[in-house]
Amino acid sequence: MRSIAFVDHLQLQMDGTVSNNAITVADCDNDLANELIAATLEGDLAVFKGTQANCWALSQGLGMVISVIVGDILNNKKNCIVCVSVEGFCNIFNLSSDSTPKPNTTLKTNLSS
């Protein structure tokens, strides 16, 4: 039998249940570095940047989130976070490099291009 030791690891704190479709790794703030984006069934969406254990940005009250994707949906060559809930809400977060939040900032829905 083979054993593998995963010595280097990062443990992130997130309260709630995360659906398998509500977690992704992508460049959501267009800084050419990937972030971990995760949302819970309790309505929280958190962005984890780099190797920080605490979330970098957070949005709450989004409903029962079932899916999170990141992509250029506004066709402006900038990625946005798209968050869809069971209740039918679709929230779009546009984190541009000139308005990048400081650590532990609350995200607000932003449809501006």
Average pLDDT, the chain: 84
pTM for the predicted model, two decimal places: 0.79
> Is 113 domain-assigned?
no
Give the percent of the chain with pLDDT over 70.
Answer: 84
**What tens digit of pLDDT does each residue of 39-86 get?**
999 999 999 988 888 888 899 999 999 999 999 998 999 999 999 999
Asked whether residue 13 is assigned to any structural domain, the reply reads: no
In tens, the pLDDT along 13-28 reads: 888 899 899 999 999 9
pLDDT band at 113 (very low <50, low <70, confident <90, very high): very low
Structural domain containing residue 24: 18-99
Confidence of residue 98 (pLDDT cuts 50, 70, 90): low
Q: Which residues contact 111 (CB under 8 A, 6 or more apart)?
A: 74, 92, 94
**Would you say residue 60 lies in a domain?**
yes
Q: What is the pLDDT of residue 40?
A: 95
Nearest CA to 49 out of 81, 14, 12, 80 is that of 12
Q: Evaluate if residue 107 carries a pLDDT over 80.
A: no
CA 95 to mean position of chain CA atoms = 11
pLDDT value of residue 26: 96
The token duo for 61 is 């009250």
Query: What total number of domains does the chain contain?
Result: 1
Is the pLDDT at 36 greater than 90? The verdict is: yes
In which residue are the tokens 């800084």 written?
Answer: 31
Inside any domain, residue 110: no
User: Contact, 78 vs 49, CB < 8 A?
Assistant: no
Written as six digits, the tokens of 36 are 């971990």
Residue 104, in any domain of the structure? no
